[in-house]
Amino acid sequence: MGGTVDILMYHAIDDADGPTSIAPQVFADQMAALADSGLPVIGMDDVRHHLAHGTGRAVSITFDDGFQDFADRAVPVLERHGFGAMVYLVSGLVGGKENWAHCHTPPRRLMGWDTIRSLRKRGFDFGNHTCTHVNLAEHPLGEVEDQLDLAQNQIEAELGFRPQHMAPPYGASNAAVRALFADRFDTSVGVRLGVAREGDDRFDLPRLEMFYFTDIRRWRDELAGRGASYLAARRVARRVRQSLGV
C-alpha cells in the first residue's frame, strides 16, 4: 500500500515566453491553489517513503537549473505558504548564466553560492543537475560519471553535504546512466508527464510540467483529483510532437 506524489517541475519564474518560464503571478496563483487544496507538501527526501508506505496524495515542488529568479520571486511565495522546494543545480555554472543547448535568449542568471547557502539555511534543498548541463544519454559513461561526480564534489565543497537527489538535463537518461544514479542518489526525476506512484522507477520518476497548468482552473482540477484525462491528452500530444520531431 503506497501513496502517490505529484512532483511539480518548474524552471524559471519570469515573464518570458516559452515552456521554461512561468509568470510570477501565475506561480503565486498555483501555490495559493495548492495551499487551498490542503494536500501535504513533502520534500524529495520523503518521496521514496511516501511512495512505498504512505497513503493518499502528496505534492513535492522542484525547480531545475537554479535560476536567480528562484530566490527573488519563488522563495517569497513558497515561504508565505510554508512550502519547501528542491532546486537542482548546474554546479559549474553557479553564479553565471545559462549557456547550454536550447537555452533561453537572452540567457538567464543563475544563483550564486552565497544565495544558495542562505536558502539552504532557510530549509530549501539542493540536488544535482550535472556540472555543465549536458545530455547524459548522449555521452560515454565515463563522461557521465565525471559530470555526476564533479557536481557532487563541488556542491559538497560549497554547501557541506552530498546531494541525494538527481535531475538529468532534458530528463535524458538510459538504463546504464540510471545505474550510475542508483550508486549515488536516493531518487532521480525525469520529464515524463505523470503522477509518481509505487512501482515507478525511482531513478526516472515522472513529474508534472507546470507550464501545462498555467490555466488555474486546470490546476485546481488536478489538485481536486480530476486531472487524469487532461494529463492523458497532454501525453498523447507530446508523443505526437516527439514522433514528428518538433
- The residue from 127, 163, 168, 169 that contacts Zn ion (CB under 5 A) is 169
Does residue 209 interact with Zn ion by CB under 5 A?
Answer: no
Task: Give least dist CB 133 to Zn ion, A.
Answer: 6
**CB under 5 A: which stretch of 51-59, 101-109, 152-160, 169-177 binds Zn ion?**
169-177
Helix axes 175-184, 141-159, angle to 10 degrees: 30
Q: Give the residue with the Cβ less far from Zn ion, 107 or 225.
A: 107
Does residue 98 interact with Zn ion by CB under 5 A?
Answer: no
Task: Give least dist CB 220 to Zn ion, A.
Answer: 28
Cell of 107: 540567457
Q: Give the residue with the Cβ less far from Zn ion, 65 or 222.
A: 65
Longest CA pairwise span in the chain (Å) = 47
- Characterize the bridge pairing of strands 205-209 and 86-89: unpaired
Which residue's entry shows cell 505558504? Answer: 81
Instruction: Give CA–CA dist 94/88, Å, rounded.
Output: 11
**Contacts with Zn ion in 100-159 (CB under 5 A)?**
none
**Contacts with Zn ion in 53-82 (CB under 5 A)?**
64-65
How many C-alpha atoms does 151 have within 13 Å on its Cβ side? 31
Q: Where are the beta strands (DSSP E) in 85-186?
A: 86-89, 125-128, 165-166
Number of residues located near Zn ion, criterion CB under 5 A: 3
Selection from 224, 146, 237 nearest residue 184 by Cα = 146
Task: Give least dist CB 210 to Zn ion, A.
Answer: 14
Instruction: Give CA–CA dist 218/92, Å, rounded.
Output: 37
Task: Give least dist CB 157 to Zn ion, A.
Answer: 22
Task: Give least dist CB 167 to Zn ion, A.
Answer: 7
Binding site for Zn ion (CB under 5 A): 64-65, 169
